Amino acid sequence: MNSLNKTIFDRLRSGEHVPFTDPEYSQLHDACVETKKLVIALNNEADPAQQRSLLSKITSRTVDESTAVFTPFSINYGKNLWLGKNVFINANCSFLDLGGITIDDDVMIAPAVVISSEGHPINGKERRQLIPAHVHIRKNVWIGAHATILPGVTIGENSVVAAGAVVTADVPDNVVVGGVPAKIIKRINE
């Protein structure tokens, strides 16, 4: 453990950059291997209650019975994923959660969405390290098929991310965003 007595997982959740040469880096690998075993079981399970049970093991917290995941589903660590109530995650979604992903209540995620809370430096000499940044999907968001949400992004309440969008910056409440990089297309007035 480092001088602050934080685990590598605590350090990542707090946004600390972690080089691949970190003495605790092998713990990430080991934890991800254990998660893979549970993900394989999840992806081979058809019963929704059993799927929620496995997802609860993956996240180390109870997943509400109103939340559903259509498999296949992929996540690298799982312990840094927080799911609200009445969340729907469609098939072929892939989450990288070492930096933390929070998905609030009533969120709908279409097929093949990627949510990543981790990246790497652009500078090639520094690239072999993880840069974590928490992603927050707020209440009643709809994320369209094949959208990508990048590290550090917050999607505001009641907003829509259009299919195929790449979200590189925060999205305000009550808007539709689309494109690469995603920009506001229109405001939602209900």
Q: Which of 29, 120, 134, 136 is catalytic?
A: 120
Buried b (16+ CB within 10 A) or exposed e, 55-94: bbbbbeeebeeebbbebebbbbbbbbbebbebbebbebbe
Assess contact for 136 and 154: CB atoms under 8 A: yes
Beta strand ranges found along the chain (DSSP E): 18-19, 68-69, 73-75, 81-83, 88-89, 93-96, 101-103, 108-109, 114-116, 118-119, 129-132, 135-137, 142-143, 148-149, 154-155, 160-161, 166-167, 175-178, 183-187
**Sign of the four-CA dihedral 173, 177, 183, 189:** negative
Instruction: Answer yes or no: 17 catalytic.
Output: no
Catalytic residues: 120
